Structures are given as C-alpha cells and as structure tokens.
C-alpha cells in the first residue's frame, strides 16, 4: 500500500500558477490559469517571518561591521561556555530533525522522545546563555563596557528572545504530538517549527562566527 | 444589475463589539485603519497649522493659544523648542500614522480579499492584531506630546547623537524621544504582521482563473509594498533597538567618544552618529515607495475605470513598480550627500537615484497614454487620480535636482526639499487616497459621497496644494532653512517673509477645504445617496461583484471565477463598454 505523505494531501497544492498568463480579453480558452499556489499559507508566512528576522540581524550586524572599524574598538574574549551553548543548539536541531523523520514514518514514541529532548536542549541553550551573561558581568564586562560587549549582549539577547519564541512553537507542537494530532499525513506544524528552529540555529552560528572571528 | 442582499456567509449573529470593534473581518479592520489614520491626520494637520502660524508671524503674541498651551506659548509667544517638536511630530504622524496606515493598512485590508476573490485574509486574527498594535503605537506617539519635557525635537529622522543622548541634548529628547522610539517599534511590528498577511493572501488565495498577470494594479502595488516593508522595516527596528540601548543601557552605538553636549563632556566611547543615518535611510527611502506604490496602483485602476480604456501597457506598469522597489534599496545615500560622503560614492548614489526616475517616467507615460483620447468621466475619484499624476510629476521633477549631489549640496535642508517631498510623498499619495475613498466609498458604506462637495474638495485642494508648495521651491532657492523657528532672524531671509505669509494663508485655506471632505465623509455614512447596484462605476474588478456594502464572507456561496484581466474597457464588439473579470470568453457580446 502506498504511503500517503503530507505533500499529497495538503490543500491548495498541485497545479503550478501561470505567472506569465497573458492579460486581455478572451483569456481562458483551453488553458485557464489556476491561482493555486504550490506552497501552503503557513509555510509562506514562516518563510516571510524568517526573511524579516534575517533583515533584522542584517541591520544589526551591518552596524557591527561598521563599528568594528572604529579606532576605539576593543575585542573581548568570550568565555568557553559559549561553545557549550552552541553545541546544545546544534544538538537540538538534530533531535528536532529526528522528530520530523519519526513522524513521517508514524513512529510516535520516537517523535515524542525527540521533541522532549529538543525542548530540554533548547531550554539548556537559553539557560546557558543566561549563565554566560552572568559570567561576563561578574568578570566586569558589562553591556556598556566596550562596543564589542555591547554587541554581544544585544545580539545574543535578541537571538535568545527569538529562541524563546521557538520554544513556544515547540511547546504547541509537543501538545499536538502528545494528543495524537500529528501523523505522517498531517505534520505541517512540526515541519514549520523545525524550519524556524534550524533557521535560528543558523542565525546563531552566523552571529557567533561574527562575534568571535570578525 | 440587481442589488443583492448582503451575503451573510457563515456569519453568526455578532454583537456590536465583536462585529465593529474586535472584528477579524478584513473590511472592518480596513475601516478601523482608515478612521484611526484620519484622526491622526487631523492631529498632524493641526500641528502643521501651528508651524505655519509661527513661520508667517514669528514673535507674534497669541493670547488664546497662550491660554490653551501655557508652557508651549509662555508669554503668548511660541517657544522655539515647541516649534521644533511640532516639526518632529507632524512629520512622524503624517509619514507613518497617516500615509503608511491609510494606503497599506486601510486600502490593503479592505481591498485585497475583495479584489482577489477571497473571503478574508490568510490570517484574520493576525490581521486584527496588526490593527490593535497599530492603535497602541498611535496612542504611544500621541502621548509624547503630553509627557514632561514635551515631544522630541530631532525631526522625524531622529538623527543621532541628539536622539541617543536623552535629556542631555534637550527637554524633548527625554521621555518624549523614548516614546517616539517605542511607537515606531510597535508600528514596525504591526506593519510586519500586516505585510506578512498581504503577501501570503495575494500569493495563495487568488480565486480560480486569477493569475498574477490578471491582478488589478492595486494588488500588484500592495504586494510589492508588502515585500518592501518586510525588507525595510526590520532594519528600522534594528536601528531603534540600538538607539534604545544607547539611551537606556549606556551603550555607545551612535555616540562618539569625547562628545560635549550643553557644555558637559559625556563619558561615551566609540560609536558613530552616521551609522544611524545609514540604517535610518536604508529603511527611509524604501518607506517613500511604501507610501507611493499603493497610490500608483490605485490611481492606475481608478483612472482606467473613468477613462473607459484599458491601462496603457499593463506589463510595463508591473515591471516598473518592481524596478522602483528594487532600486529603492540602493539610493539611500542621496539623503546624506552633505554627511562627508566621498564624492565618488556620492556620484554612485546620484546615478542610482537618477535611474529610479526611469521607471517612474514609464509609469507617467503610461498614465498619459491611458488618458490620451479618452472620454473621461470627471467624477471626484477621477479628478483626484488625475491630480495625483500632476502632483507626482511636479514633485518628481524637483527630485531630479535633489538627486544630483552637486545641486543637492546647495539645496540640502532648505524649503526646496520641503516642497519636493511634500508634493511627491505626501500630497500625491493623499490625492490617490482621496481618489480611493471617493471610488470605494459605495462598497464600504452602501452610499455615495456627495459629488458636488467632492469636486469642491478637489479643486480647493489642487489650487491650495500648489499655492502652498510651489512658492516653497523659491523659498528654498533663496536659502530659506528647513527647520528654522524664526525666518526674520536672518536679514537675507527678510525679503522672503511676504511669501511665507502667502504660504501660511494658503495652508489655512487648504486645511479648511479638508473640513469639507471630513464633513462629506461622516455625513454621507448616514445621509449619502444610496447605491442601487453592485457596480455603480461600471468597473471590471471582482469587488464590484459583491453587494454595496459588502457582507461578511464577501461573495455568495460560490467564489467568483476569473476569465480575463482587469482592464477590459471599451472592448470592440462588446455589448457594454466594460467587461467584468468574471465574464467568460464570448460573454461580452451577450
């Protein structure tokens, strides 16, 4: 029996749009354009949200690059904990990906386990970031100490807020998973949550590389 | 055509609050945006009247105003700080809370589902949330007028380091400036929620047969505007966050080291004030097009309807809007020619700025091509659409001068700039918004606006606008500074004073004419002539398939099916001079 996958049952998916259909009277005829769009509304919204977030960090990091060149710039050494936190976030992306793969084959116990581990790793990341900030403040590196420290706090803080948003999404998906509302033919919330989570993981890798090496 | 009863598609009986206040219906949200923006326009307009009062008669005592504003008019004379705060608040309110709100918030919400044959937006709750966050941002920005120290002084561009230093740089730069930043951050969040909804809805919810190249130009303009907003607003948000940290967190992103303010050496280290200008204008120039593109789209559709002709070169209209949007991200430096920019970079920005005139000229050519030889029905909506072209061209031409760095260095921060941007990004969009209101009012309220009052409104506005803003070009060329409190302070500006008085009197007349519109708008809701058919203008687009006013769910049990583009006017051999988009091939002859 063929496996019915999500892509085959989602509404509004199928006939690609005719972007170049000629305007003008008469239209239609043998080939009437169909407006059905090959991507779901929620998926587009997620991608648009990520575009907006990308522009937010592009604006912030362009400021970083500009101010990196001022003569008064003092580079700071980030505590090693930052790499532990980074590993938590990378690991959480891996477990969420495993969750996505589990639901595609209807392995619900594995799905719940992976979602649970992802949430723990996500919380560990945010907690680790808070510990990192406390370590830095106790060593005298405050928000206003240097431009580098200012950028570290602001960029990592805004990123953490977005991770908290992702955790709320993860909690919503987990509730659906525990109440049996996710299956191999209906798992769009998990797919979108995973897309967002991976994206924010990518943003963190970009930020940390910028803050450490640029 | 018979009037249908308003469709009550899947519409439970809701109470007043759920139906008209906490509604998720896109039409109600659109009207909420419109009414709120109109209220903000009244505030912003009154502020500009106070400015004109000061510029025409500086140092004149106004006892009545002294009683109303005892602090701002201490000794019955306007305080300089109050004048500068008027400049800031007028600009901020008009750019964000009127133009952006009315063109994208009001018309975007009202028209997108109606013109694409959908029942509502893709995310109705998000849409409602977008309005309520917008309303909150309006309340926050207005509250800046009433806090201790007053409203911010730095202009709508909030240039650093003044905006970053707090009270140290002036009274309004304290709580007033913080509220300004908070209001803009909220506005940005609201705009992003709206834009996300617009793009998703237009891409995914078009009815059967409505391909992208069959969309009305209003829809194309709203789609492109939403993309611009999505890419530009987050950069403003980024700048606002950094500015907020400079003010509240002690950081120095925009504050250079060794800065002395009001004879006090501040302890900041290392930032760069020009960084704010770059971030602000990277957002700020696309913002100009966020305002003007929906105006272009709406004026195009309305013009075509009343010319009874297809829009001239539909595809080029679409491509030129896309070009304008793309180019708008690489012209921001023309706002900063006098910032110490290298002449080479200045010439690059001059080039990109002049290039953006090309698609704008293409659009103008196409509007003229549409009007050419047409038997125009001179309704108020048509007149305002034609007025839009006139004002857009007048303002656009002076932009060519300002886009050239050599000329701009002389004209920078003079009234020439004030004249330019008011015509091209304030009055032109406003005229298109008026055209839109006269045109879609029957769909909103089931009644017409009074046409006689509409024409009085148009001619009064057109004459008033040119009387106010044309002399400002001359004032600017004589060197009249942009934000000056007392033009009589300098001897070389004294000969300009008669012109300042003329501009102010014209501005008061122009404002009075707007009262005619406001009266017409609100009285017609209850006493306007009733609409007796679904399609009173004999237009082609899908919103005219619905009853006036349109009920919940917009369309009947079946969504419309589109068979043609949106501009089938005066089709040879057709029975009528318009063929709605829903008429199948060959049906136009029946």
Neighbours of B100 (CB within 10 A): 25
Tokens for A75?
């580079």
Least confident of B143-152, B207-216, B225-234, B564-573: B143-152
Is the pLDDT higher at A21 or at B143?
Answer: B143
Q: Is the pLDDT of residue B137 over 70?
A: yes
CATH class of A40-213: mainly alpha
Residue B361 CA to residue A61 CA, distance in Å, equals: 36
Helix, strand, coil shares of chain B as percentages rounded to 5? 70, 0, 30
- HEC string of B20-57 equals HHCCCCHHHHHHHHHHHHHHHHHHHHHHHHHHHHHHHC
Q: What is the DSSP string of B233-289?
A: HHHHHHHHHHHHHHHHT---SS--TT-EETTEE----S--HHHHHHHHHHHHHHHHH
Tell me the shortest Cα–Cα distance from B385 to chain A, in angstroms: 23
Do residues B122 and A43 make contact, with C-beta atoms less than 8 angstroms apart?
Answer: no
**CA–CA–CA angle B448, B451, B456 (5° rounding):** 140
Closest to B510 in 3D by CA, of B559, B578, B463, B563: B463
Task: Indicate the residue of A29, A35, A53 with minimum beta-carbon distance to B210.
Answer: A35
Check if A31 contacts B (Cβ < 8 Å).
Answer: no
pLDDT tens per residue across span B494-530: 999 999 999 999 999 999 999 999 999 999 999 999 9
Q: Which chain B residue has its CA at the smallest distance from A29's CA?
A: B585
ipTM of predicted complex: 0.92
The verdict on A63 touching B (C-beta cutoff 8 Å) is yes
Q: How confident is the model at residue A72 (pLDDT cuts 50, 70, 90)?
A: confident
- Predicted local distance difference test score (pLDDT) of residue B257: 86
Q: How far is A23 from chain B (nearest CA, A)?
A: 5
State what percent of residues in chain B have pLDDT above 70. Answer: 98
Length of chain A (residues)? 214
- Are B291 and B100 in contact, with CB atoms under 8 Å apart? yes
First-to-last C-alpha distance (Å) of chain B:
14
Following DSSP, what letter does each residue of chain A receive, concatenated? -----HHHH-TT-SSPP-TTPPPSTT--TTS------SS-HHHHHHHHHHHHHHHHHHHHHHHHHHHTTSTT----PPPTHHHHHHHHHHHHHHHHHHHHHHHHTT-HHHHHHHHHHHHHHHHHHHHHHHHHHHHHHHTT--TTT-HHHHHHHHHHHHHHHHHHHHHHHHHHHHHHHHTT--BTTB-HHHHHHHHHHHHHHHHHHHHHHHHHH-
Flag whether pLDDT at A34 surpasses 60: no
What chain B residue is nearest to A71 in terms of C-alpha separation?
B270
Measured between alpha carbons, how far is residue B143 from residues A31, B182, B454, B511, B515 in Å? 57, 11, 34, 24, 25
Q: Indicate the pairing of strand B264-265 with strand B260-261.
A: antiparallel
Q: What is the dihedral of CA A96, A102, A103, A109, to 10 degrees?
A: -100
CA–CA gap between residue B308 and residue B356 (Å, rounded): 30
Picking from A35, A51, A60, the nearest residue to B207 by CB comes out as: A35
**Helices B26-56/B107-116 angle, 10° precision:** 150
Which two structure tokens, joined as six digits, stand for B463?
């004459």
Interval B22-46: pLDDT, tens: 899 999 999 999 999 999 999 999 9
DSSP designation for B463: H
Q: Which pLDDT value is given to residue A35?
A: 52
Tell me the average pLDDT across B213-220: 98
CA distances from A30 to A16, B504, B563, B565 (A): 16, 62, 12, 16
Tell me: cis bond preceding B161? Omega within 30 of 0 counts: yes
Residues in chain B with CB shorter than 8 Å from the CB of A58 are 234-235, 238
- The pLDDT of residue B469 is above 80: yes
| Distance between CA atoms of residues A82 and B246, nearest Å | 25
Q: Quick one: fold of B292-528?
A: Cytochrome C Oxidase; Chain A (1.20.210)
B57 token code pair: 């008669």
Torsion of the alpha carbons at A188, A191, A193 and A196, rounded to the nearest 10: -130
Sorting pLDDT into bands at 50, 70 and 90, what band is B588? confident
pLDDT over 70 at A6, yes or no = no
Confidence (pTM) = 0.92
Does B279 contact A at CB distance below 8 Å?
yes
d(CA B454, nearest CA chain A) in Å: 33
pLDDT at B263: 81
Q: Residue A28 — very low, low, confident or very high, per pLDDT cuts 50/70/90?
A: very low
Coil/strand/helix, residue B530: strand
For chain A, the structural domain boundaries read: 40-213
3-state class of B353 per DSSP?
Answer: helix
Instruction: List all residues of chain B from 175 to 204 with a beta carbon under 8 Å from chain A.
Output: 192, 195-197, 199-201, 203-204
pLDDT for the residue numbered B125: 96
Residues of chain B with CATH 1.20.210.10: 27-253, 292-528
Lowest mean pLDDT among B267-271, B348-352, B411-415, B480-484: B267-271
- Ramachandran quadrant class, B238 (left: phi over 0; alpha: psi -120 to 50; beta: rest): alpha
Angle between helices A81-104 and A108-138 (to 10 degrees): 170
> Which residues, including other chains, have CB under 8 Å from residue B270's CB and lie 6 or more apart?
A67, A70, A72, A73, A146, A147, B252, B256, B257
Record: contact B270-A17, CB cut-off 8 A: no
Separation in Å, CA of B268 to nearest CA in chain A: 9
Chain A: nearest CA to B231, how far in angstroms? 6
Residue B423 has what pLDDT?
98
* Nearest neighbour of A35 by CB, restricted to B206, B232, B242: B206
Q: Collect all residues with Cβ–Cβ distance below 8 Å to B526 and sequence separation of at least 6.
A: none
CATH architecture of residue range(s) B27-253: Up-down Bundle (1.20)
pLDDT digits (tens, 9 = 90+) for B96-128: 999 999 999 999 999 999 999 999 999 999 999
Q: CB–CB of B381/B443 below 8 Å?
A: no
- Residue B184 has which token pair? 């803009």
Judge whether residue B132 has pLDDT over 60.
yes
Q: Rounded to the nearest 5°, which phi and psi values hold at B261?
A: -125, 125
Give me the pLDDT at residue B11, please.
Answer: 53
The DSSP-derived string for B147-212 is STT-S--STTTT-TTGGGSGGGG-GGGTHHHHHHHHHHHHHHHHHHHHHHHHHHHHHH-PPTT--G
Residues A167-205: b if buried by 16+ CB within 10 A, e if exposed: bebbeebbebbeeeebebbebebbbbbbbbbbbbbebbe
Question: B166-204 pLDDT, tens per residue?
Answer: 877 777 788 999 999 999 999 999 999 999 999 999 999
Mean pLDDT, to the nearest integer, of A79-105? Answer: 97
Mean pLDDT of chain B: 94
pLDDT > 80? residue B9: no
User: Which of helix, strand or coil describes residue B484?
Assistant: coil
Cβ count within 10 A of residue B515? 11
Using an 8 Å CB-CB cutoff, list chain A residues near B197: 45
- The percent of residues above 90 in pLDDT, for chain B, comes to 89
Q: Residue B332: how many CA atoms within 13 Å on its side-chain side? A: 20
Residue appearing with tokens 């007796």: B532
What is the arithmetic mean of pLDDT over B140-152? Answer: 93
Judge whether B253 is closer than 8 Å to chain A, CB to CB: yes
Residue A22 has pLDDT above 90, yes or no: no
Q: Please, what is the angle between helix B107-116 and helix B273-307, to 10°?
A: 50
């Amino acid at each position: 029996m063929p496996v019915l996958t999500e892509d085959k049952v989602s509404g509004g998916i199928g006939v690609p749009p005719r972007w170049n259909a000629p305007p003008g009277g008469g239209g239609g005829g043998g080939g009437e354009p169909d407006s059905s769009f090959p991507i779901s509304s929620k998926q587009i919204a997620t991608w648009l949200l990520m575009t907006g977030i990308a522009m937010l960090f592009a604006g912030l990091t362009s400021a970083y690059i500009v101010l990196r060149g001022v003569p008064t710039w003092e580079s700071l050494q980030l505590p090693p904990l930052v790499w532990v936190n980074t590993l938590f976030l990378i690991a959480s992306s891996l477990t969420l990906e495993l969750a996505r793969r589990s639901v595609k084959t209807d392995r619900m116990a594995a799905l719940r386990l992976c979602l649970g581990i992802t949430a723990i790793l996500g919380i560990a990341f945010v907690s680790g970031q808070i510990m990192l900030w406390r370590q830095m403040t106790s060593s005298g590196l405050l928000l206003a100490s240097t431009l580098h420290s200012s950028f570290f706090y602001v960029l990592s803080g805004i990123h953490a807020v977005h991770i908290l948003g992702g955790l709320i999404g993860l909690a919503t998906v987990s509730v659906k998973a525990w109440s049996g509302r996710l299956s191999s033919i209906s798992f769009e919330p998990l797919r979108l949550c995973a897309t967002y989570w991976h994206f924010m993981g990518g943003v963190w890798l970009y930020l940390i590389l910028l803050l450490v090496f640029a | 055509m018979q009037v249908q009863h308003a469709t009550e598609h899947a519409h439970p009986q809701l109470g007043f609050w759920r139906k008209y206040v906490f509604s998720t219906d896109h039409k109600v949200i659109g009207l909420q945006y419109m009414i709120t923006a109109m209220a903000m326009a009244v505030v912003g307009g009154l502020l500009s009247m106070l400015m004109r009062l000061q510029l025409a008669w500086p140092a004149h005592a106004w006892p009545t105003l002294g009683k109303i504003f005892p602090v701002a008019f201490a000794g019955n004379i306007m305080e300089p700080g109050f004048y500068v705060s008027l400049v800031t608040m007028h600009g901020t309110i008009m750019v964000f809370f009127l133009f952006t709100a009315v063109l994208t918030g009001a018309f975007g919400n009202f028209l997108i589902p109606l013109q694409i044959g959908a029942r509502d937006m893709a995310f109705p709750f998000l849409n409602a949330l977008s309005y309520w966050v917008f309303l909150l941002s309006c309340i926050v920005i207005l509250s800046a007028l009433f806090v201790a120290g007053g409203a911010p002084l730095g202009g709508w561009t909030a240039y650093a380091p003044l905006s970053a230093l707090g009270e140290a740089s002036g009274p309004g730069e304290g709580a007033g400036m913080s509220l300004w930043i908070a209001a803009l951050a909220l506005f940005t969040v609201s705009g992003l929620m709206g834009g996300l909804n617009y793009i998703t809805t237009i891409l995914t919810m078009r009815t059967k047969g409505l391909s992208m190249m069959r969309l009305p130009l209003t829809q194309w303009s709203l789609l492109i505007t939403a993309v611009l907003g999505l890419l530009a607003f987050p950069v403003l948000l980024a700048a606002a966050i950094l500015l907020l940290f400079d003010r509240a967190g002690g950081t120095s992103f925009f504050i250079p080291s060794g800065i002395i303010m009001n004879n006090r050496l501040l302890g900041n280290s290392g930032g760069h004030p020009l960084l704010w200008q770059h971030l602000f204008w990277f957002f700020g120039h696309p913002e100009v097009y966020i305002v003007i593109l929906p105006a272009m789209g709406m004026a195009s559709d309305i013009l075509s309807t009343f010319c009874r002709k297809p829009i001239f070169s539909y595809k080029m209209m679409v491509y030129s809007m896309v070009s304008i949007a793309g180019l708008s991200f690489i012209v921001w430096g023309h706002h900063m020619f006098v910032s110490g920019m290298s002449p080479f970079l200045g010439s690059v920005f001059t080039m990109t700025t002049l290039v953006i005139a090309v698609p704008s000229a293409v659009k103008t050519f196409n509007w003229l091509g549409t009007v050419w030889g047409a038997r125009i029905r001179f309704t108020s909506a048509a007149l305002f659409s034609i007025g839009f072209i006139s004002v857009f061209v007048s303002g656009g031409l002076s932009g060519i001068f300002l886009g050239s760095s050599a000329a701009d260095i002389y004209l920078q921060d003079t009234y020439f700039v004030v004249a330019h941007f008011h015509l091209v990004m304030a009055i032109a969009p406003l005229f298109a918004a008026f055209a839109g209101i006269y045109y879609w009012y029957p769909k909103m309220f089931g009644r017409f606006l009074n046409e006689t009052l509409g024409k009085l409104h148009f001619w009064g506005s057109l004459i008033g606008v040119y009387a106010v803003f044309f002399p400002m070009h001359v004032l600017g060329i004589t060197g009249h500074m942009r934000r000056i409190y007392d033009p009589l302070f300098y001897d070389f500006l004294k000969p300009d004073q008669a012109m300042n008085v003329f501009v102010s009197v014209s501005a008061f007349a122009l404002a009075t004419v707007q009262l005619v519109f406001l009266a017409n708008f609100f009285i017609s809701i209850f006493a306007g002539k009733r609409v007796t058919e679904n399609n009173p203008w004999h237009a082609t687009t899908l919103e005219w398939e619905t009853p006036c006013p349109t009920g919940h769910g917009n369309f009947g049990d079946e969504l419309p099916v589109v068979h043609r583009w949106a501009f089938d006017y005066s089709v040879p051999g057709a029975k009528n001079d318009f063929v709605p988009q829903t008429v199948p091939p060959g049906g136009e002859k029946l």
